A and B are shown apart, each in its own frame.
Chain A
């Protein structure tokens, strides 16, 4: 009987040597005449343990990690194939506390299945959401999504069901579903993990969206920085077409949905939905005025649903188990689970999918294990480069959209980047302005000119040139950006800048 061994093909695992480890395992097994079945799965999301090697033993998976290619021969000597003891043995993967404490709904299959095996997907409850959606009216599918309380996981947290309902009720011969896979924010990688680790769940979610609102064409707008995700998505889309899960008359239902991946080209602002649509149309990614809303007049002027990867990938479980099942997780108006991403200076970086409501402190210390450097955590930036820096005094805030907003912070897509006490927050504020200047689309003046003036003013503050006067100027500039910008790029750059100034004035050379 052959033995099944899992080594992740996730690009972060590969960046730590997973391909070399996988190759060494294949060669070593061959040399010893052991028959193995090597599966390149997604990542479990425990990146300090990657490259993680799992062996299937008696219906359980036993993990070893981190395993470099040079460890492989020793692992075979020690009885890897039987899950025997070894210094790198971690025990059953499902029992590792970091993993066991999570509530994985959207990520249920990531790290478990072979990402591009449709058989594996279906065997692990895949396409049950679509099956159930095909038996319902369009309005009922939308109602399940509305009842689930799902809000846009890309950061803006707009209720997904309301968006779908608008598109459903806007008559048009052609409508579109766009998946925003331009995951450009530092500290976020959950979209990438889904696309690499379970691409079918995104395809299924988009198909359900298409059927629900009457759209027959979907586009995944993927950032060019994700070559592994591109390969996985294209492979999965080809298989879905072959098995009639995409195309005409899907599974004999009479419904049609076509899907295609389009690549971005390194413009951060194209993560903004109107800029993204301009880019898909083949233009410079300039932000559009709203209204009209994309749901009324979007891609090529047609009604368009634009949803983030995680929002769409959460739809299959909602349609399979019902809106109420999903809604029963979470707190307040933040329903369901949020795939949080721990990044930067933390010991245990990775993915934590859990119901809303846990505090930031629990996330940073119980899951994250504190800083990687062993120094105190000075600040964490939550919600990407346009999110506020959160000081230690606010670590007890629950992970909930409204609780974060009440502190003038942003939960956004749940990306968390930790900094230890060696970070200089004035430098970070300068960087936020510099980033805005580099990535501004140039359409509105506050963002285009304000960002450049912003890092010049920050340079003066850092170099102690008229510091007091320049801080007044910086605040006034932030006010203009905040209230006068066309989109979130200019409109939210003041979040990191002002939070750094307000919470860490000493770094700016001023008294609190």
Chain B
């Protein structure tokens, strides 16, 4: 019950504080995802009402952007860069290793809820390829070994 109340609170305060900005929808969606880790379906009608949009329009925006998610993420989210520079430095092999190590594919979460895996197209770390991002931390020149070390430290 408390959890639900907090969730409702995050949604309400985010909408109330941002709805009068020009082009408020993306800032609101970011605010909710920052607070809750995802955008719950329950938030959609409330956002729509506050911005005088249809629910379909709000849903359309959420689904257009790769970054927004409508399901809760794992405790840690691993982003693996799939772009050209990382491919030139063994990114594809790293990608297979990451999937095997975590036992999941892209857009999935491990059964214990610890890790979610997402692809990303460029972290701007192309001088240090291959690159991954775990939560807010970016890692460069990642090898299978260094990936395992980071993941083990986070408690795989």
Residues on A lying within 8 angstroms of B by beta carbon are 11-12, 14-16, 47, 50, 183-189, 191-192, 224-227, 262-268, 279-285, 300, 341-345, 349-351, 372, 381, 385, 415, 417-420, 423, 428, 431, 435, 438-439, 441
Q: Once bound together, how far apart are the Cα atoms of A496 and B133, in whole Å?
A: 27
- The reply to whether B65 and A15 contact each other, CB–CB distance below 8 Å, is no
Residues of A within 8 A of B113 (CB): none
Closest B residue, CB atoms, query A224: B67
- The reply to whether B26 and A265 contact each other, CB–CB distance below 8 Å, is yes
- The reply to whether B127 and A342 contact each other, CB–CB distance below 8 Å, is yes
CB contact list, B59-88 vs A, under 8 A: 60-61, 64-68, 83-88
- The reply to whether A188 and B68 contact each other, CB–CB distance below 8 Å, is no
Identify whether the interface residues of B are mostly helix, strand, loop, or mixed.
mixed
Q: Once bound together, how far apart are the Cα atoms of A192 and B27, in whole Å?
A: 21
Whether B24 is near chain A, meaning CB under 8 Å from some CB there, is yes
Can you identify 8 A-B contacts, CB atoms within 8 angstroms?
A185-B122, A186-B84, A264-B26, A264-B65, A265-B29, A282-B23, A284-B64, A435-B121
Candidate in B30, B65, B85, B87 with the most chain A CB atoms within 10 angstroms: B85
Beyond contacts A264-B65, A281-B22, A418-B88: 4 other A-B pairs, Cβ-Cβ < 8 A, are A225-B120, A264-B67, A283-B25, A439-B121
CB contact list, B111-152 vs A, under 8 A: 120-129, 131, 133, 136-141
Q: Which of B61, B89, B121, B137 contacts A184 (CB 8 A)?
A: B121
Closest A residue, CB atoms, query B132: A15
Candidate in B23, B61, B68 with the most chain A CB atoms within 10 angstroms: B23
User: What is the CB-to-nearest-CB distance from B16 to chain A, in angstroms, rounded to a whole number?
Assistant: 17
User: What is the CB-to-nearest-CB distance from B46 to chain A, in angstroms, rounded to a whole number?
Assistant: 15
- The reply to whether B67 and A266 contact each other, CB–CB distance below 8 Å, is yes
Q: Which of B51, B66, B89, B139 contacts A266 (CB 8 A)?
A: B66
Closest B residue, CB atoms, query A432: B84
Residues of B within 8 A of A226 (CB): 124
Residues of B within 8 A of A16 (CB): 128, 140-141
Q: Once bound together, how far apart are the Cα atoms of A192 and B127, in whole Å?
A: 12
User: What is the CB-to-nearest-CB distance from A433 to chain B, in angstroms, rounded to a whole number?
Assistant: 13
Residues of B within 8 A of A345 (CB): 88-89
User: What is the CB-to-nearest-CB distance from A269 to chain B, in angstroms, rounded to a whole number?
Assistant: 9
User: What is the CB-to-nearest-CB distance from B105 to chain A, in angstroms, rounded to a whole number?
Assistant: 15
Residues of B within 8 A of A15 (CB): 125, 128, 131, 137-140
Using a Cβ–Cβ cut-off of 8 Å, how many residues does chain B contribute to the interface with A? 42
- The reply to whether A188 and B22 contact each other, CB–CB distance below 8 Å, is no
Closest A residue, CB atoms, query B64: A284
- The reply to whether A47 and B128 contact each other, CB–CB distance below 8 Å, is yes
Residues of B within 8 A of A349 (CB): 126-128
Residues of A within 8 A of B68 (CB): 265-266
User: What is the CB-to-nearest-CB distance from A458 to chain B, in angstroms, rounded to a whole number?
Assistant: 15
Q: Once bound together, how far apart are the Cα atoms of A438 and B121, in whole Å?
A: 10
Q: Once bound together, how far apart are the Cα atoms of A435 and B119, in whole Å?
A: 12
Q: Which of B67, B85, B121, B141 contacts A344 (CB 8 A)?
A: B85
- The reply to whether A266 and B122 contact each other, CB–CB distance below 8 Å, is no
User: What is the CB-to-nearest-CB distance from B153 to chain A, in angstroms, rounded to a whole number?
Assistant: 13
Q: Which of B65, B120, B126 contacts A188 (CB 8 A)?
A: B126
Q: Once bound together, how far apart are the Cα atoms of A398 and B79, in whole Å?
A: 37
Residues of A within 8 A of B131 (CB): 15
Q: Once bound together, how far apart are the Cα atoms of A236 and B117, in whole Å?
A: 33
- The reply to whether A225 and B26 contact each other, CB–CB distance below 8 Å, is no
Residues of A within 8 A of B136 (CB): 227
Q: Once bound together, how far apart are the Cα atoms of A68 and B71, in whole Å?
A: 38
Residues of B within 8 A of A372 (CB): 89
Candidate in B26, B88, B89, B121 with the most chain A CB atoms within 10 angstroms: B88
User: What is the CB-to-nearest-CB distance from A391 to chain B, in angstroms, rounded to a whole number?
Assistant: 15
Whether A12 contacts B125 in the complex (CB less than 8 A), given A267-B65, A428-B84, comes out as: yes
Closest A residue, CB atoms, query B53: A282
- The reply to whether A265 and B67 contact each other, CB–CB distance below 8 Å, is yes
- The reply to whether A225 and B122 contact each other, CB–CB distance below 8 Å, is yes
- The reply to whether B65 and A263 contact each other, CB–CB distance below 8 Å, is no
- The reply to whether A417 and B88 contact each other, CB–CB distance below 8 Å, is yes
- The reply to whether A11 and B138 contact each other, CB–CB distance below 8 Å, is yes
